[in-house]
Structure 1
Amino acid sequence: MTEKQTWSQRFESALHPAIARFNASISFDIELIEYDITGSQAHAKMLAHTGIISRAEGEALFNGLEQVRQEYRQGQFQPGVDAEDVHFAVEKRLTEIVGDVGKKLHTARSRNDQVGTDTRLYLRDQIQQIRQQLRDWQTVLVDIAEKNVETLIPGYTHLQRAQPVSLAHHLLAYFQMAQRDWERLEDVYSRVNISPLGCGALAGTTFPIDRHYTANLLHFDNVYANSLDGVSDRDFAIEFLCAASIIMVHLSRLSEEIILWASEEFRFITLKDSCATGSSIMPQKKNPDVPELVRGKTGRVFGHLQAMLVIMKGLPLAYNKDLQEDKECIFDSVNTVKACLEAMTILLQEGLEFRHQRLATAVTEDFANATDVADYLAARGVPFREAYNIVGKVVKTSIAAGKLLKDLQLEEWQQIHPAFAADIYEAITPRQVVAARNSYGGTGFEQVRQALVNARTQIGVK
């Protein structure tokens, strides 16, 4: 049988070893150790500040906790499954260092409000790191976009050629997605940054604590107004996982496009050796493993969001052991999002090249300028729906004849409608098709250049 735990004086015997392993969370909540130490140091200061313990005891606890931190950083403190969780592990080691005064640390505190505090300290730190990664990602998107304002790429709807667009415009669409991600995380942060410390197990405490004092020490914006809610709330975790899932949606969408662009069917990009792998039996292959992995890892983040929703949906107030399951959901999602952002940033910055000649050819080999023919007639007084139908017939007959619109002779154009003149050829060149779409937010070169200026301003990079 295992060693009896702190709480086990109520029990006749220790936990069965298998149940102890099943119950323990130390294998993953060790991730919280430095946050647990920081939260405990604030709690120790508050206990001394309010006179619940002496100032000398408060200092002994603070310094002892700092020693635990340094021992952990140096690899000298590595608690195992017998510790059950990181909170007991730290308290046990602290007591070994400072003696019986270490047993006073848990005064006016429960593991319920303690773990809630640790998780929030961890998550707000990770949110800021992810937001910085999003800024790095946006910077790379802008850098590439600035070099490709007048590079054209086929635009698609339903994965069918639709209209040509500026490559910069295409990349800036992902910039805008990342901007929403950045803002969304800021909003989530505001609800992460509320302190449950002092809520106790569920009902508060009889000690004269000062919850706002610890909140200020830990740089929380506020404290939970209801102790039951404080120890049982995981809305902030669900919101974070939702935001993380949306980040992964955006990364996965670009991953899918990169996979298509790198294929022999598209040939829009070339993957560099530093960000691609080969086949074990097909020597000609160069595989887009990075975007494929990002696309695949998206599912595990979605899964963690679903898991958290299922964990929470049936829990009565207040704390329940089910909530131990929130940490692996959060930790793995954080690690996955950060790894995917890093990999995709490197891939775009260093791992691929756009094949400009292929792109230039691609925008000339379809009927993506058909809308511009209809617009040409509409600008000359032909009702748009009538113009649309005229051009539809032209496309149909051109396909049958094996021609593109640019191949039609002027006489053929004028037989279709007398409004056509020699300037139709300029109007349907891919470059003009893109340049003409100068409405706000459109792909016109003037709009794209202004969008780049705005993007630089938005992320604070010149």
Structure 2
Amino acid sequence: MADSPSRSGVFQASTDKRLEAFAESISFDRRMYQQDIRGSIAHADMLASVGLLTREEFSTIRDTLKEIEAELDADQFPIRFELEDIHMHIEQALIDRIGDVGRKLHTARSRNDQVSTDVRMWVREALDTVDARLLELQRAFLSRCERDFDVVLPAYTHLQRAQPVIRPPLLDGVYRKTAARSGPRRRLSPTRQRMLAWRCGGRRNHAANRS
């Protein structure tokens, strides 16, 4: 019997270990488990709001997903490479624990929807982290400007030493580059805005519109 849910009902023999090693992404996409669980809880809440889940079923799914998240936080969640990615790991754990109610979570959502949503959420939060660290760097430059007026350094021209200068103008120049309209923090903002676009069901909706 096939040992991966993604291939069950298609192949009878077990998957070759070389294919499992080629197809798996759990070794790097497990970092998105928090986004995957938050997205799944939101999706389950939507299913309950339109009557496809009862509120009791939603509560069961939500509470079980939070249990799984706690195990992942504590690095106590078992990883199986035949399950390929973090999405299938969480989905299979949910089904193993609460049975067919867990299968209902996949209603009205494709794996492509799930991956796209998780990646966008993860990238958005990573951009926020980068932005916060750049802000800390800018503040550090300004702080040194106030403290280093007695530090003298050689300026350079054409890779050769030139006249001596004090350090603050050099640090201020670096600060201004990071704070400029074309600086790194300004470039992060439009990328973050694009990550806010919700794409769930986009391909199916596009196909439906074309038909």
Category of TM-score, reference length = shorter chain: 0.7 to 0.9
Instruction: Give the counterpart of 2:199 among 196, 205, 209.
Output: 196
Identity level (%): 34
Aligned match of 2:187: 184
3-state SS of paired residue (1:133): helix
Higher alpha-carbon deviation: 79-88 or 54-63: 54-63
Residue 58 (structure 2) aligns with? 58
Aligned mates of 2:4, 2:127 — CA distance in 1: 38
Give the partner amino acid of 1:188. T
Paired amino acid for 1:184: R
TM-score, length of structure 1 as denominator length: 0.42
- 1:126 corresponds to which residue? 126
2:90 maps to which residue?
90
> Which residue of 1 is the match for residue 33 of structure 2?
33
2-structure distance, mates of 1:130, 1:13: 46
Quick one: distance in 2 between partners of 1:4 and 1:192? 31
Cα distance in 1 for partners of 2:207, 2:135 equals 37
Query: CA 1:36/1:19 → structure 2, altered by over 3 Å: closer, same or farther?
Result: same
- Counterpart residue number, 2:79: 79
Partner of 2:160: 160
Q: Which residues of structure 2 form unaligned runs of 5+?
A: none
User: 2:2, 2:13 within 8 Å by CA — same for their partners in 1?
Assistant: no
Mapped to 2, the partners of 1:141 and 1:170 lie a distance apart of: 9
Q: Mark the structure with the bigger radius of gyration.
A: 1
Structure-2 separation of matches of 1:148 and 1:94: 58
Amino acid at match of 1:191: R
Change (3 A) 1:114 1:140: same
Instruction: Give distance in 1, aligned partners of 2:59 and 2:81.
Output: 30
Unaligned runs of 5+ in 1: 205-225, 229-462
Tell me if the contact between 1:2 and 1:17 (Cα under 8 Å) persists in the aligned partners: no
* Structure 2 CA distance for aligned equivalents of residues 133 and 143 of structure 1: 15
Distance 2:93 2:160 in 1: 64
Q: CA deviation at 1:139?
A: 1.6
Distance in 1, matches of 2:193 and 2:64, equals 32
Give the whole-Å Cα distance in 2 for the aligned partners of 1:227 and 1:60: 34
SS at match of 1:195: coil
Structure 1 residue 14 displacement after superposition: 3.7
Q: CA RMSD in A?
A: 2.2
> What does 1:219-298 align with in structure 2 at a 5 Å threshold?
none
Q: Is the 8 A contact 1:45 1:58 kept in 2?
A: yes
Q: What is the deviation of 1:66? A: 1.1
- Equivalent pair of 1:196/1:227 in contact (CA under 8 Å): no
SS in 2 for 1:51: coil
C-alpha spacing 1:76/1:153, structure 2 compared with 1 (3 Å): closer
Deviation at 1:197, TM superposition (A): 2.1
In the alignment, which residue of structure 2 is the partner of 1:365? none
> How many residue pairs were aligned?
205
Match of 1:140 in 2: 140
Is this contact kept in 1: 2:68–2:90, CA < 8 A?
yes
- Structure 2 counterparts to residues 439-454 of structure 1, below 5 A: none
Contact preservation (8 Å) 1:155, 1:164: yes
The 5 Å alignment of 1:260-409 reads none
Instruction: State whether residues 5 and 14 of structure 1, in contact with CA within 8 Å, keep that contact through their aligned partners in structure 2.
Output: no
SS of alignment partner, residue 9 of structure 2: helix
